[in-house]
Amino acid sequence: MADFHQTGVISTLHRLGRPDLQRLERDLHQLGRVRPMALVLPCLHSELRDVALKGIIDQLRRVDYLEQVIVSVGGTDRREDFDEMCDAFDGVHTRSGEPATLLWNGGPRIQELYQVLKQEGLDPGGPGKGQGVWLAFGYVLATGRSRAIALHDCDIRDYDRELLARLCFPIANSNMNYEFVKGYYARVADRLYGRVTRLFMTPFLRAMKSVLGPNPLLEFLDSFRFPLAGECAMTTELARSIRIPSDWGLEVGVLAEVYRNCSLKRICQVELTENYEHKHRGLSASEEDAGLHRMVGDIGSSLIRNLASYGVEFDAGFLNTLSAAYVRMAQDAVARYSDDAALNGLAFDRHEEEVAVEAFSGALRGAGLGFVRDPLGAPQIPNWNRVTSAVPDFLDQLREAAEADIRAPGSLREPDSRAGDC
């Protein structure tokens, strides 16, 4: 029997029955007339060498209901690399036949705009996915053509355009009246993946609830089946209002911002695909600034600071109690996953899972001590309402910079008539 169970404080939209992609895409083409959709793709130049991005581009060439496709290119300040990315996305078009728009995050014009913000006392963050997403959201707002934005990563190895259609549908359908949509999926191959969610995020949230008792933010976060999924969609009004972290706490930070800005009735999660595979990261148990160890540290810092903003006090005694509760919850989770894997004939290295829990426990304690030393931490990227308040014509400058990057000498192709199109 298909799973249609509703849990938590948000709506869950399931993948029931046989998929009908043609119906979804036909409906989205109609819905796009009322609520035009933009797709944002944060992408590193290095991903161009990965089979995952090539498969995504091939699938996107067959999508015809999007008003805009915005690719935020990071990881390079070389003009020839940006031109190569433009060339790679050739054939990806919008519903009106316009080519995808590529933003050169590392280019001199965009970097000059970051300096403008710094002069106003606003921190645009460091290079990374958060900054790339924030820049792309700004470009969508600058053009004023779309009313909703979908976002997904570019390292999905088994990407199918059904994932995009299911992500877009709840936000594109104005009758559903959602402001924010979060994707979820299973991550299983010959073994269980998703270690940060399985062994850190969920046990941490439940450890916090066991120590603190009922807490609305914790209940909200624990309602998501895959809170660290990189796939989400939102209205442009929400994209204008939320602050975006620039580190690995991006997904958690966005959820906390959504909680502050939206009614729970306007939030849902949607099952995107039966299974999901992307590039797997190493644990790096002995290296605090690498791999999943660093990721957990950033996520833990984001969780702690957001909980502190709702009045939760973190001192040394509380951190000791929380760490002990987390380890207990995580060890119980390892036992459950071991049984699940055994029933389904999956590989399961219990020692490796326990090592991950020990590393995550250390990262959590480090995040807590970091908060005690510096409660504010690194500032989040300011939301677009604040940016336009400080620099009223900043969005115009951003659109002009994108257009100039495409028209600069050395680009592989002549620009389209639309600003910023490749």
Question: What is the 3-class SS of 20-70, one letter each residue?
Answer: CHHHHHHHHHHHCCCCCEEEEEEEEHHHHHCHHHHHHHHHHCCCCCCCEEE
Task: Count how many residues are written for the chain.
Answer: 422
Residues 280/193, Cβ–Cβ less than 8 Å: yes
Place of tokens 């600034």: 289
Q: Which domains does the chain have, with CATH numbers?
A: 11-190+215-279+381-407 (3.90.550.10)
Separation CA 352–CA 187 (nearest Å): 18
* pLDDT score for 221: 96
- Where does residue 312 rank: exposed (0-12), middle (13-18), buried (19+ CB within 10 A)? middle
The SS3 of residue 93 is: strand
What residues have CB less than 8 Å from 193, skipping those under 6 apart?
Answer: 187, 277, 280
Q: Which amino acid is at 168?
A: C
Closest CA to 65 of 172, 182, 143: 172
* pLDDT score for 419: 42
* pLDDT score for 415: 43
Which helix H or strand E contains 350, and what residues bound it? helix 350-373
* pLDDT score for 418: 40
* pLDDT score for 7: 83
* pLDDT score for 19: 87
* pLDDT score for 292: 83
For the chain, helix, strand, coil in percent to 5 are 50, 15, 35
- Complete DSSP assignment for 314-347: --HHHHHHHHHHHHHHHHHHHHHHHHHHHHTT-B
pLDDT in tens, the chain (422 residues): 357 888 889 999 999 988 899 999 999 999 999 999 999 999 999 999 989 999 999 999 999 999 999 999 999 999 999 999 999 999 999 999 999 999 999 999 999 999 999 999 999 999 999 999 999 999 999 999 999 999 999 999 989 999 999 999 999 999 999 999 999 998 888 899 999 999 999 999 999 999 999 899 999 999 999 999 999 999 999 999 999 988 878 999 999 999 999 999 999 999 998 877 766 556 655 555 556 888 899 999 999 999 998 888 888 888 899 999 999 999 999 999 999 999 999 999 999 999 999 999 999 999 998 988 888 777 789 999 999 999 999 999 999 999 999 866 544 444 443 444 55
Which helix H or strand E contains 141, and what residues bound it? helix 129-143
* pLDDT score for 281: 58
Residues 337/193, Cβ–Cβ less than 8 Å: no
322-332 pLDDT per residue, tens: 999 999 999 99
* pLDDT score for 416: 43
2-54 pLDDT per residue, tens: 578 888 899 999 999 888 999 999 999 999 999 999 999 999 999 999 899 99
Residues 292/284, Cβ–Cβ less than 8 Å: yes
Separation CA 111–CA 392 (nearest Å): 18
Exposed e or buried b per residue across 396-405, where buried means at least 16 C-beta atoms within 10 angstroms of its C-beta: ebbbbbbbbb
* pLDDT score for 113: 97
Query: Rg of the chain's alpha carbons, rounded to an integer?
Result: 21
Closest CA to 50 of 159, 179, 123, 139: 159
Give me 266's structure tokens.
């306007």
Exposed e or buried b per residue across 63-99, where buried means at least 16 C-beta atoms within 10 angstroms of its C-beta: bebbbbbbbbbbbbbebebbbebbebbeebbbbeebb
Separation CA 371–CA 377 (nearest Å): 7
| Count of beta carbons in the 10 Å neighbourhood of residue 316 | 10
Give me 387's structure tokens.
């940016």
From its phi and psi, is residue 377 left (phi > 0), alpha (psi between -120 and 50) or beta? left
Residues 151/237, Cβ–Cβ less than 8 Å: no
* pLDDT score for 206: 95
* pLDDT score for 85: 95
